[in-house]
Amino acid sequence: MSIDNLQEQVEKLKDEMDVLEEVCDSLPKCQEDDACETCETYKKINALNEKIEVLENKIESLMGDDEEDDEEDD
């Protein structure tokens, strides 16, 4: 999988997360203390964060591999 493809996926997930955060900010339930612990939207946001982190780690790994390849070519 290419770095560009992974970066596109990260951007899509971030956009989706932004939409969910906007919804979360507007929910009456979210005004209560500890509401995030029981909020399904918040759970979705956390899941998206985890996916983003995994993809970003893959990107870093691939970029590291590319740098090593460049050093070997020198």
How many domains in the chain? 1
pLDDT bin (cut points 50, 70, 90) of residue 13 is: very high
pLDDT at 69: 58
* Percent residues over pLDDT 70 in the chain: 86
The two structure tokens encoding residue 28:
């009456």
At 41, the amino acid letter reads T
Whole domain around residue 38: which residue ranges?
3-73
d(CA 14, CA 69): 30
- Is the model's pLDDT at 56 over the cut of 60? yes
**More confident call, 65 vs 47:** 47
Provide mean pLDDT across the span 46-54.
95
Q: What rounded mean pLDDT belongs to the chain? A: 83
SS3 44: helix
